[in-house]
Amino acid sequence: MSDTAVAPHRALGLTDAEYELIVEKLGREPNAVELSMFSLMWSEHCAYKHSKKLLGQLPIEGPYLLMGPGENAGAVDVGDGLAIAFKVESHNHPSAVEPFQGAATGVGGILRDVFAVGARPIAVLDSLRFGELDSARSRYLLEHAVGGIGHYGNSIGVPTIGGELYFEGPYEQNCLVNAMALGIARHDRLTRSAATGPGNVLVLFGALTGRDGIGGASVLASAELGDGDADKRPTVQIGDPFAEKKLMECSLELLDRELLVSLQDLGAAGLTSSSSEMASKGGLGLDIHVDRVPLREPGMEPFEIMVSESQERMLCVVEPARVDEVLAVCAKWETTATAIGEVTDSGRLRVLSGGEVVGDMPVEALVDDCPLYDLKPEKPSAPIYPAPRRILDGDDPRDALLALLGSWNVADRRPVFEQYDCLVQSRTVRRPDDADAAVLLLPAPTDAGERPAIAVSIDGSGRRVACDPYRGTVEAVLECAANLACVGAEPLGLTNCLNFGNPEKPHIAWQLFESVRGMADACRALDVPVVGGNVSLYNEGPEGPIYPTPVVGMVGRLPDAARAGRLGFAVAGDAIAFAGPFQPSLPGSELAKLRGEPLPDGLSELDVAAVRRAQEVVREAVRRGELRSAHDVVEGGLAVALAECCLGGGHGATVDFRGAGADGERLLETLFGEGAGGFVLSGPRPALAALAREIRLTFVGEVGGDALSLTLDGGATLSWPLAELRSARERGLADAIG
Partner 1 sequence: MRFGVLRFPGTCDEVDAQLACERVGEAVILWHGDRDLQGVDAVVVPGGFSYGDYLRVGAIARFAPIMESVIAFAREGGPVLGICNGFQVLCEAGLLPGALLPNKTLRFVCRQVDLVVERADTVFTNACAEGERLSIPAKHTTGCWYAPPALHEQVEANGQVLLRYAPGESFNGSLADVAGVRNEAGNVFGLMPHPEHAVDPLTGSTDGLKLFQSIANSVAAHV
580 — alpha (psi -120 to 50), left (phi > 0) or beta?
Answer: left
Of residues 297 and 334, the one with the C-beta less far from partner 1:
334
The 443-482 site mask, x for binding partner 1 (CB under 8 A), equals --------x-------------------------------
Of residues 247 and 400, the one with the C-beta less far from partner 1:
247
Of residues 369 and 450, the one with the C-beta less far from partner 1:
450
* In the complex, least distance from residue 645 CB atom to partner 1, rounded to whole angstroms: 21
Q: Which of 336, 425, 604, 709 binds partner 1 (CB under 8 A)?
A: 425
Cβ burial, residue 684 (10 Å; 0-12/13-18/19+): middle
∠ CA 58-61-67, nearest 5°, is: 105
Q: Which of 342, 360, 421, 514 binds partner 1 (CB under 8 A)?
A: 421
* In the complex, least distance from residue 343 CB atom to partner 1, rounded to whole angstroms: 31
Q: Which of 12, 55, 83, 422 binds partner 1 (CB under 8 A)?
A: 422
* In the complex, least distance from residue 248 CB atom to partner 1, rounded to whole angstroms: 11
Q: Which of 562, 572, 689, 723 binds partner 1 (CB under 8 A)?
A: 562
For residue 149, CA distances in Å to 236, 431, 515 come to 15, 17, 28
Of residues 707 and 737, the one with the C-beta less far from partner 1:
737
Q: Decide if 276 contacts 220 (C-beta within 8 A).
A: no
* In the complex, least distance from residue 562 CB atom to partner 1, rounded to whole angstroms: 6
Answer yes or no whether residue 100 interacts with partner 1 by CB under 8 A: no
Answer yes or no whether residue 679 interacts with partner 1 by CB under 8 A: no
Answer yes or no whether residue 155 interacts with partner 1 by CB under 8 A: yes
Q: Decide if 525 contacts 559 (C-beta within 8 A).
A: no
Q: In what order do the strands lie in the sheet with 285-289?
A: 262-265, 313-318, 201-206, 337-344, 285-289, 348-353, 356-362
Amino acid letter, 119 = A
Q: Which of 14, 156, 271, 642 binds partner 1 (CB under 8 A)?
A: 156
Cβ burial, residue 2 (10 Å; 0-12/13-18/19+): middle
Answer yes or no whether residue 648 interacts with partner 1 by CB under 8 A: no
Cα four-point dihedral sign 652, 657, 661, 665: negative
The 332-361 site mask, x for binding partner 1 (CB under 8 A), equals -xx---------------------------
Strand partners, 90: 178
The 117-136 site mask, x for binding partner 1 (CB under 8 A), equals --------------------
User: Going along 21-79, which residue ranges are E strands?
Assistant: 65-67, 74-79
Q: Which of 14, 190, 561, 645 binds partner 1 (CB under 8 A)?
A: 561
Answer yes or no whether residue 429 interacts with partner 1 by CB under 8 A: yes
* In the complex, least distance from residue 648 CB atom to partner 1, rounded to whole angstroms: 15
Number of residues that bind partner 1 (CB under 8 A): 32
91 in catalytic set: yes
Query: What single-letter DSSP state applies at residue 542?
Result: T
Query: What single-letter DSSP state applies at residue 216?
Result: I
Q: Decide if 615 contacts 485 (C-beta within 8 A).
A: yes
Of residues 147 and 198, the one with the C-beta less far from partner 1:
147
Of residues 372 and 423, the one with the C-beta less far from partner 1:
423
Helix, coil or strand: residue 597? coil
CA distance 40 to 217: 6
Q: Rounded to an integer, what is the distance from CA 479 to the centroid of its chain?
A: 14
Answer yes or no whether residue 242 interacts with partner 1 by CB under 8 A: yes
Q: Which of 118, 150, 162, 469 binds partner 1 (CB under 8 A)?
A: 150
* In the complex, least distance from residue 337 CB atom to partner 1, rounded to whole angstroms: 15
Of residues 151 and 189, the one with the C-beta less far from partner 1:
151
Of residues 156 and 316, the one with the C-beta less far from partner 1:
156
Q: Decide if 196 contacts 343 (C-beta within 8 A).
A: yes
How many CB atoms are located within 10 Å of the residue 543 CB? 11
Answer yes or no whether residue 245 interacts with partner 1 by CB under 8 A: yes
* In the complex, least distance from residue 414 CB atom to partner 1, rounded to whole angstroms: 9
Piece of the chain touching partner 1 by CB under 8 A; list 166-174, 242-250, 361-369, 500-508: 242-250
Q: Which of 426, 542, 686, 715 binds partner 1 (CB under 8 A)?
A: 426
HSE toward the beta carbon, residue 405, CA cutoff 13 A? 26
What torsion do the CA atoms of 662, 663, 664, 668 make, to the nearest 10 degrees? 90
∠ CA 5-9-10, nearest 5°, is: 45
Of residues 213 and 432, the one with the C-beta less far from partner 1:
432
Helix, coil or strand: residue 343? strand
DSSP tally for the chain: helices H, then strands E:
24, 28
Of residues 334 and 735, the one with the C-beta less far from partner 1:
334
Q: Could you say which of 45, 151, 289, 507 is catalytic?
A: 45
235 — alpha (psi -120 to 50), left (phi > 0) or beta?
Answer: alpha
Cα four-point dihedral sign 218, 221, 222, 225: positive
Question: What residues numbered 381-420 form the site for partner 1, per CB under 8 A?
Answer: 418-420
Answer yes or no whether residue 637 interacts with partner 1 by CB under 8 A: no
* In the complex, least distance from residue 43 CB atom to partner 1, rounded to whole angstroms: 33
Q: Could you say which of 9, 50, 91, 151 is catalytic?
A: 91
Of residues 125 and 279, the one with the C-beta less far from partner 1:
125
Answer yes or no whether residue 115 interacts with partner 1 by CB under 8 A: no
Q: Decide if 477 contacts 434 (C-beta within 8 A).
A: no
Count how many residues are written for the chain.
738
Piece of the chain touching partner 1 by CB under 8 A; list 176-184, 425-433, 474-482, 512-520: 425-433
Q: Are strands 490-499 and 530-536 parallel, antiparallel or unpaired?
A: parallel
Helix, coil or strand: residue 289? strand
Question: What residues numbered 247-286 form the site for partner 1, per CB under 8 A?
Answer: none
CA distance 525 to 170: 31
Active site (catalytic) residues:
45, 91
Q: Enumerate binding residues for partner 1 (CB under 8 A).
A: 147, 150-151, 154-157, 240-243, 245-246, 333-334, 418-429, 431, 441, 451, 561-562
